[in-house]
Each structure stands twice: as C-alpha cells, then as structure tokens.
Chains A and B, each alone.
Chain A
Amino acid sequence: MMVRRATLIGGVLLAAACVERVSAPGHCPSFCPSGQIQIVDTVLTSIISRDSSFRGYVTALRAPQLLAADLPGFVDGRVVFRFNGYGQRYLLAAADSGTILGADSARLQLTLARRDTGAHNLSIAFYRLPITIDSTTTFADLAGPFTDSLVRRVNIDTLLARPGRKDSITGDSAVVDTLNHVVVLQLKFDTAAARYVGTDSGTVAYGIRVSADSLASVAFTRSTLAWQWYLRVDSAGTPVARTPSPLSLPFSSFVSDPPLPATDSMLAVGGVPSARSILRVAFPRFIRDSSQIIRATLTLVPVAPVQGAPSDSFVVEAHTVFTDVGAKSPIIVDATRTDTAVIHVGMSDTVQIEVTNLMQFWASDTTRATTLVLRAKEEATSFSQIRFYPSAAQAFRPAIQVTFVRRFPFGAP
C-alpha cells in the first residue's frame, strides 16, 4: 500500500517537473514587447579639443632598431657604431700578457630585422668613421668619412642567392630565420678593413649606408650587434693568434638628413625622434550616463601621404592615460585598452581607429581622464611619420563617430 502511494506521489511530481523553455521567435509588433532597442549613430565633430603633439619620446640612441635608408626626396639615414677594443696588451695567461700586434681579421654580426622585399640589388656599405663619434654626432659631421672611407660593400641579394648563403671568397654568410623573419649576417672584415690600432686601444667605428635599385630602407636589431676580433699577439717574441670573446652592446645610433621639421600645430605620430599626439575628448554626458556604447571610431584626416618605403609602414596605437599632465602623461599600456590602425606608406585616406573599448572604459569610470594619446606601436623604428589635421582645422578636424544604445524602457507594458 505504501509502495503504491509513494509511486503515485512520485509519478505525479515527476510529471509536473519539467525544464523551462520560454524562448520563442518574435512576431513584431503584435507579439513583441512595446519597447525596442534604439540605436543611435552620430558623428561628434566638436568633442576633441586642446590637441597637440610632442616629439622626443624615443630618440635614435634609444631606438631598438638601427635605421638605414636611401630614399631620395625623403630621407638619407645611416647607421653608426663603435666598438671599444682591448687596449694595447692582451692577457695570454694568468701572469703573462703580450702586446697586440694587430688583427688578422674581424667578424661583424648584424641582424637584418626589416627590409623591403621589393628592393632589388640591396647592398650595404661600411665606412670607417672617427672613433670619436658619440650621441652628439650629426649627419653633417660624418659627411667626409661617408664619402672617402669605404672599407667594404656587401650585396645582400647576391649573398642570399649563393648556395648555403655563404660566400667562400669574402667569408660572409647569412642565416635566414623564418620564425622571427630576420636575416642574421656574419660579415668578415680583413686586415685592411679591420685595423687594430693599439694607440686607439683597439677602438673601431664604422658607418653603414644602404643602397638598392629602389626602396632602400632597412632596420638592424641593435641588441644583436657584435664584433669578433682575430688578433695577433706577441708572446715572448713570437706572434701568436688569439680569439678573444666577442664584443657586444657597442655605442650605436643612426643619423639622418634632412632632419624632421619641428612640431607645429599638426598632430604628428611616429618618426625619429618619435612624436606623439595628445587629444582631449569632452565625453558627452548624455552618452556617458544613460547609454551603452557599442562602437566608437576615431577619425583622423592626414595632412599629406606618408613618405617612405612600403616596409616603413607602421602601426599607430591609441591609448588613454592614468592622468593628464600634458606631454608626459603616463599612458595605460594594456592590451585590452589599446586600439590600433596600420599606417601604410603612401596612403592619404582618412585614418579610422576603433576606440570602443576606451570609450566604454571612460563610461564605466567617470574619474578617468578622457584623454587619448596616439603613438607609433614601436617608436623610432621607422623614419616615416604621419601628420593629422588638428581640431583647429575646422574642415578636417578629428572626430569620433559613436554608435550607442539608449536605455531600454524596462517595465513598460
């Protein structure tokens, strides 16, 4: 009897239990809620003001890459570097040293980080420079040595075309790193090219010019620059060969001509030294307080097409700041709050950067400074820069196109 009752109760409860499924296609307007999701799309042309640009954030001395270019009408850029030597004597044993008689040869390691694949007959030429070069050395200071002190020239295309990418005559070799998309060059400097002068403590300085049929623009990785001496040392009257440890992290920089024009009222981004632009956004209250932003696009009109080789194209990032203190405003470097646009060389079209997440960030925290900072993603890695019209240029001023949703009329029948 109890079993029958329990079965009956259990069966009834089981029959009554079911999952919830209330989702149905809407047939509007008859069987839909009276309230609708209302989307508004508007171009806010006057919310950006007090915009300006500043230059000098990353200089050639701090750039992660060393730039060389020969782009007539735009820039002539040359790499300079200097390795300090071991002095006049070399330690042969714990208590025995000998005079360095000279160098049989030397080997320079260069990492070609970027080149234009459209450039043919790409060559790099090495010039002996005064060892006094430093951070104040200018392009004009080195005009003489870059004219009459050629020590050797390497045709990159020819070297890469050789079997095994090795030149047995010159002793040069190349390794193509397809993973990191770089070419590592090992270049041999003979006795004449690599002179070990004891009175100079073995310090040597060289400059690099690049040339090609066209689009001669390359970048070398600064951190992997290395120099290997093969020395001859006097050991109790007998010359002996010695291979000291390679020298790295030399003084290195690059010089260019003509210099970039001074910053003006236009909004510059990129170049060397790198420039950033700061834009103050007057975030409308009616959007911030009572709507949800679903898309926001910053629109910038370039003053002129970007100059350079196609490989000089760069990425512009839009950041917001922790606090707005002008040129030195600390930017928030956060992948979730960074928006980008690729700037292609030769382009003159309007640049659009999606800044939806930044606007949403400002809407969620009204204490934040509503300031945008535009900068190159990798600053000082390209001579190219882009200049935009500022807010003072009424016809071409920066604007933000915002798509937002008004508050849904919840609770209405």
Chain B
Amino acid sequence: MTTRIVWIVGVVLVGPALTGRATAAAQDSQFGIRGPGTPGRWESVRSRSTGGAFAPFDPLSPLSEAELADVPQLTATAMETASYRDAEVAGTTSALRATRFPLLNVAGRVHRRLAIAAGFTTYLDRTWDVTLRDSSLLRGTLERYTDEVTSDGSIADLRLAAASRLSRRIALGAGLHLLSGSTRETAERRFDDTTFHTVQQLAEVRYSGVGVSGSLLLAVAPGLSVTGWARADSRLRATVADTTSADTDLPRMAGGGMLFSPSASVRFGGSVAWRGWARAGAGAFDTWSWSAGGEIGAGHMPLRFGVRGGQLPFGPGPTAPTEFAAAAGTGRAFAQGRALLDVGVERLERRGGGLTERVWTALVGITVRP
C-alpha cells in the first residue's frame, strides 16, 4: 500500500515539475487584488472541461464529498493550468501569463462502505504585480516615482474528506478543511530623483483558517442523480512576523447539481452555487454561479463541453463583476486504464468596474489508478 501511494504521488508530481512550475494557485485576476484574493475553482480537468457542471459528481473534484462513496479504487489526480490573460481597463490592455498547479487529490476506499480523500486545491490566489507611475510633493518639489507592489503566493485548501453510501440511492459525505498558505509581498517605490533612496519593503504573510463541509448525493431515478452541498469556513487570519495583520470573515456556501445519463456514453449535468462572500468586508459581494455541460463518449477519447457564468466576489463599484466561460476538452487512457491524461481549454471573460479580462486557459490533468 505504501509503495503504491509513493508511486502515485511521484507520478502526479512529474507533470508539473517537468513544466518548471509547481505553485499551488489558481488562475488569478485583477479583481482579486483589492479583496482577499481570487477564489479558486475546485474542479478537476474533467469537470472544468464541462464548465464545472460535473464537479458536484466528480470524486476527484474537491467541491463536495458524497460522490467519493463511488470511488472504485485508489485514485490520484493532479492538474496544471496555463492561462493567457488580457486585462483591459481605461483603454489600456496588459497581456499577462501564468502557470499554476491548482489541484492534487488522492481518494480511495478504506472500507466497503467508506471512502476517504485527501489533497489540496487553491482557496484564494494572491499572485499579482501592480506598477504605478505617479508623483507627489516632497520637500516643496514635485517628485516623480514608480511604485511596484507585488504579491506572490496563495491560500491552499487542504481537505480531508470521507463519504459513505448509505443505500443504493443515498450517499453522504463530509470534509474538514484546513486553510493554509503564504504570500511573499513586496512594496517598492523608485524615485526619479535618486537623492531619495528607493523604498523597498517585503514581508512573508502567512494565512490560516478552518472550514467544514457536507454533502448529500441522491439517485432519484435510473440515470438521474441530484446532489447538494454546503460549506462553512471560519476567519482567514493573516499574520506577518507573528503579528495578526488582518482577520477576514470567510463565506458560507451552498450549492447543488443534477446529472442526467441517458446512456452509458452520454452525460449531461448542471450545477448552481451560492457563496456568501459579502461577509469578507467592503467591496465584497455574495455571488451566484451556474454551469451546464456534457460528456459524450466513454471510450478512449470522450468529448467534453460546457459553459458557466456567474459573479465574482470582489470588485469596485456597487455591483459584483460578472464572468462567463465556455470550455471543452477530452481525455485519453493509457496503460490499460491505469493512467488518464485529461486536457481542456477554456475561454473566459470577466467584466466589472471598467475592467474586462479575457482569458485563454489550457488545462492538463493526470490521473493515476495503480
């Protein structure tokens, strides 16, 4: 068993390591700069390729737990994303790129009626770099300067989950979440007049918090399942050099979904979620999000597609920014089905407060079933 686990962890880490980046973070956004961060998407590549519609039913997506009850064997997955983002505001467009490693999940059965999973995903991404050109009156002279404030890091959601199928129709799941992460933040001001020395400050900010979640999966009819989930997180505590610098209330969340499988090779799904981010403070909003998608083909290369939309929790102005995305993808099994390679692509557009972000994201996931 130990050998198996070591082998799994080794394999799922090879892919991201080969691409030179292994930071646990999700796709970031300029909308997250002013808030606690950009919330991650708790979806595997397979789920994300369907717009997120399959996430409540995917045991390798850490959105809910009840579906873990149907994990047939020890399974591990890891995911990498590469995003190409154009942020357009006030007629200026910035081309941004990022590579992330937002998901690692291991699930397996420990008893005939009990399955458990452990892993991490991105809770909030806090990677950004803002440069600003300005001036201020200093010692009677207008001094021009360039500011650069950066943050590099994220807050991970470390989850330990368990699920049990109570009957043929009902499965229950619960999860304990440990929020942990750090960011390396810098603030620099460089004056044109070198008589003023450059301002350079940096800090390692550590974050901590906890959360609990629960979910219920019901098979209401042959080929038709519905699920519901809920989650409550505590406060996110930010500490700098052992001193608390901020305490942010984290949201309550709830959501549900429906999965319809008219045949073994065709599946359609839809989901909806509510997140109470308004607790987080000024400039934060409660959000609704939805998704719909499908998967056709259960053979070597299924076709996945989906759309999603909703709101972002942080942004300027009186209303929450909105987003809409379309995604597609496929997968391929290797080694008699013991290894799966999932790929996908997503086109996303976010709008709000005068900012428009357009993002292409390439998704790569590796799943191993030893």
Residues of A contacting B80 in the complex (Cβ-Cβ under 8 angstroms):
16
- Once the chains are docked, how many angstroms separate the CA of A39 from the CA of B191? 12
Least CB distance, A40 to chain B, in whole angstroms: 10
Least CB distance, B191 to chain A, in whole angstroms: 8
Indicate if B316 sits at the interface (CB-CB under 8 A).
Answer: yes
Residues of B contacting A8 in the complex (Cβ-Cβ under 8 angstroms):
332, 341
Indicate if B311 sits at the interface (CB-CB under 8 A).
Answer: no
Residues of B contacting A12 in the complex (Cβ-Cβ under 8 angstroms):
341, 343, 364
- Given that A12-B341, A32-B34 are contacting pairs, would A407 and B201 also be in contact in the complex, using a CB cutoff of 8 Å? yes
Assess whether A295 is in contact with B195, with CB atoms less than 8 Å apart.
yes
Please indicate which of the listed interface residues B130, B148, B203 has the most CB atoms of chain A within 10 Å of its own CB.
Answer: B130
Indicate if A294 sits at the interface (CB-CB under 8 A).
Answer: yes
Assess whether A25 is in contact with B98, with CB atoms less than 8 Å apart.
no
Least CB distance, A26 to chain B, in whole angstroms: 4
Our count of residue pairs bridging A and B at CB distance below 8 angstroms stands at 180
- Among the listed B15, B97, B128, which residue makes an inter-chain contact with A13, where contact means beta carbons less than 8 Å apart? B15
Indicate if B162 sits at the interface (CB-CB under 8 A).
Answer: no
Q: Mark A1-25, 1 if CB is under 8 A from B, else 0.
A: 0000100110011011111111111
Residues of A contacting B90 in the complex (Cβ-Cβ under 8 angstroms):
27
- Once the chains are docked, how many angstroms separate the CA of A411 from the CA of B15? 32
- Among the listed B99, B138, B197, which residue makes an inter-chain contact with A18, where contact means beta carbons less than 8 Å apart? B99
Quick one: closest A residue to B129, CB to CB?
A23
Q: Mark B81-106, 1 if CB is under 8 A from A, else 0.
A: 11010010110101111110000000
- Once the chains are docked, how many angstroms separate the CA of A21 from the CA of B185? 16
User: Which label, helix, strand, loop or mixed, suits the secondary structure of the B interface?
Assistant: strand
Residues of A contacting B151 in the complex (Cβ-Cβ under 8 angstroms):
33
Quick one: closest A residue to B343, CB to CB?
A12
- Once the chains are docked, how many angstroms separate the CA of A354 from the CA of B139? 14
Interface size on A, residues (CB 8 A): 46
- Once the chains are docked, how many angstroms separate the CA of A15 from the CA of B360? 12
Indicate if B56 sits at the interface (CB-CB under 8 A).
Answer: no
Residues of A contacting B95 in the complex (Cβ-Cβ under 8 angstroms):
21
Please indicate which of the listed interface residues A15, A17, A24, A41 has the most CB atoms of chain B within 10 Å of its own CB.
Answer: A24
| Interface contacts beyond A12-B343, A23-B148, A409-B245: sample of 7 additional A-B pairs, CB < 8 Å, sorted by A | A9-B341, A32-B34, A33-B130, A39-B199, A295-B197, A408-B201, A410-B240
Interchain Cβ contacts under 8 Å between A and B, 22 examples? A8-B341, A12-B341, A13-B364, A15-B364, A16-B362, A22-B127, A22-B129, A24-B30, A24-B96, A24-B129, A28-B132, A31-B89, A33-B34, A37-B147, A39-B136, A39-B189, A292-B199, A292-B200, A294-B191, A410-B185, A412-B246, A413-B246
Q: Which residues of A contact B (CB under 8 A)?
A: 5, 8-9, 12-13, 15-35, 37, 39, 41, 292-295, 354, 356, 360, 401, 403, 405, 407-413
